[in-house]
Homo-oligomer: A and B are copies of this chain.
Amino acid sequence: MRDVAIIGVGMTKWGELWEKPLRSIFVESALLAIQDAGVDKIDSMVVGCMSSGLFIGQEHLASLLSDYLGRNPVPSTRVESACSSGGLALRQGFIEVASGMSDVVLVGGVEKMTDVTGCEATYALGTAADQEYEGYHGLTFPALYAMMAVAHMHRYGTTRDQLSMVAVKNHDNGSKNPLAQFPSKVTVEMVNQSVMVADPLRILDCSPITDGAAAVVLCPADMVKKMKKPMVRITGSGQASDTISLSSRKDITWLESTHLAALKALAMAGRKIQDINLFEVHDCFTIAEIMVTEALGLAERGRGGKAVEEGLTLLQGKYPVNASGGLKAKGHPVGATGVAQAVEVVKQLRDEAGERQVKGAKRGLTQNMGGTGGSALVHIFEAD
C-alpha cells in the first residue's frame, strides 16, 4: 500500500443554512479543498452522508454531487454509517489512494438537516438506532445517550458538573472557531440549568442540528513532496463495529468499537496514544466525549469525568480534545462531521488554527462514531 497524504482541506461556516440547498453547501467546501490542494484534476470522489433520503428526499447523492461540482465522469461513491459517514468516507478514500486505484481523491461529507421539522429530524437521526428494537419503542438519541449517562454516573460517580464541563470546554474552544455554528461561551451553571431533554441530559449537553459540509483532498505522499506542499500523512486508519442496539451491548458505559478502531489505527501508525498531540472526537452529547476519552485510553475506565474536571483535555491540557469546538459548538451535520474533524487536524498540524492552535502539534487523531457506537472510525495524522 502507498503512503497517503492530505493535500487540501475546505470547510465553510456551519449553521441553519436555509437559503442554500445541499448541493451548494457541498460544492462550496469541495471547491475550497481543491483550491487549497492546488490540483486541477481529481480522479475520484467519496461522499459521506447519513440520510439525504429522509432529510431532503434525495438518494443517488454521489452522482448529484459530481455533477454539480462539474467533475463528471469521475467515479463518485457515497458511503453511509450514520453519524460516522464522514469518517468512513475518509477511510474509503484512503484505501483507494493506498491501493493505487486512484491518485487524487476528493473526500467530502455533507448533511442538510434543517429543511425538515424538529420531529422529522429526530426521526431521521433515530434511524441510526435499531428501528425494530429501539426506534419503534420510542427511543431517540438523547434518550439512548441519557441511559448511557445514568449508567456511567451510577457506576463511576460521574457528576452533573463534569458533564457540563465538557460543554464549557468545547464552547470555549468553539468561540475561537469562526466556522462554528455556536461560537458562544457557556458556564457550568448555564448547562446545569438549561432545558431538560432526556434526564440527565439537558439541551446544552446535546450537539445541535446543523447544515454543513467539509472536504479534503487525498493523494500519494510522493505527490505532496513533488508539489512542495506541507506534508500531512494519514498514517493509521481503524474501523470497527459493535451491536447497533444498546440492549445487546455487554456494557453500555464502554465504547468497544471506538476502543478497537483506535487500537487498529495506532498499530498501523506504529504509535501509542500518548504520542498524539491533539484529538478531535465525537461529542454528540457531553457523556459521549467522556466515554470516548476512556475508550481511547486518555483516561482510565470510569475516569473520563474526572479527566475533564482536572483539565486534562483543555486546549492547553496534556491531551487537547476538540480544539475545534467539537460537535457541541462547531455543529453536527452528521455526514460531514468525520471529514470536518480531519480538516481541523490538518489545520492544526499545519499551524493554521489561529487562536485555538495547539502549539507544536505534530500528530493528531480523529474519532467518529455512528449511533451509540455501533460503528467507529479512528484516523491518525502526522506532519513531517
Does A342 make an interface contact (CB < 8 A)? no
Q: Tell me the A50-100 residues at the B interface (CB within 8 Å).
A: 50-51, 53-54, 56-64, 66-67, 71-82, 88, 92, 95-96, 98-100
CA distance A257 to B100 in the complex (A): 22
Q: Looking at the assembled complex, report how far the CB atom of A43 sits from the nearest CB atom of chain B, in whole angstroms.
A: 11
Does A186 make an interface contact (CB < 8 A)? no
Nearest residue (CB) in B for A129 is B60
Nearest residue (CB) in B for A57 is B131
* B81–A79 CB distance below 8 A: no
CA distance A21 to B132 in the complex (A): 9
Does A248 make an interface contact (CB < 8 A)? yes
Q: Which residues of B contact A142 (CB under 8 A)?
A: none
Q: Which residues of B contact A257 (CB under 8 A)?
A: 73
* A78–B75 CB distance below 8 A: no
Bin chain A's interface residue count.
35 or more
Nearest residue (CB) in B for A127 is B59
* A243–B101 CB distance below 8 A: no
Q: Which residues of B contact A59 (CB under 8 A)?
A: 50-51, 54, 80, 82, 124, 127-128
Q: Looking at the assembled complex, report how far the CB atom of A257 sits from the nearest CB atom of chain B, in whole angstroms.
A: 6
CA distance A115 to B371 in the complex (A): 24
* A98–B98 CB distance below 8 A: no
Q: Which residues of B contact A159 (CB under 8 A)?
A: none
Q: Looking at the assembled complex, report how far the CB atom of A259 sits from the nearest CB atom of chain B, in whole angstroms.
A: 9
Does A240 make an interface contact (CB < 8 A)? yes
CA distance A52 to B126 in the complex (A): 13
Does A212 make an interface contact (CB < 8 A)? no
CA distance A75 to B100 in the complex (A): 21
* B53–A124 CB distance below 8 A: yes
* B60–A82 CB distance below 8 A: yes
Given contacts A21-B132, A63-B81, A77-B88, contact A242 B374 (CB under 8 A): no
Q: Looking at the assembled complex, report how far the CB atom of A136 sits from the nearest CB atom of chain B, in whole angstroms.
A: 9
Does A351 make an interface contact (CB < 8 A)? no
Q: Which residues of B contact A311 (CB under 8 A)?
A: none
Given contacts A63-B375, A64-B374, A77-B239, 20 further A-B pairs with CB under 8 A are A1-B101, A51-B59, A53-B124, A54-B54, A57-B127, A57-B135, A58-B130, A60-B127, A60-B371, A60-B375, A62-B80, A63-B370, A64-B130, A66-B241, A67-B248, A71-B241, A73-B242, A73-B260, A76-B81, A78-B81
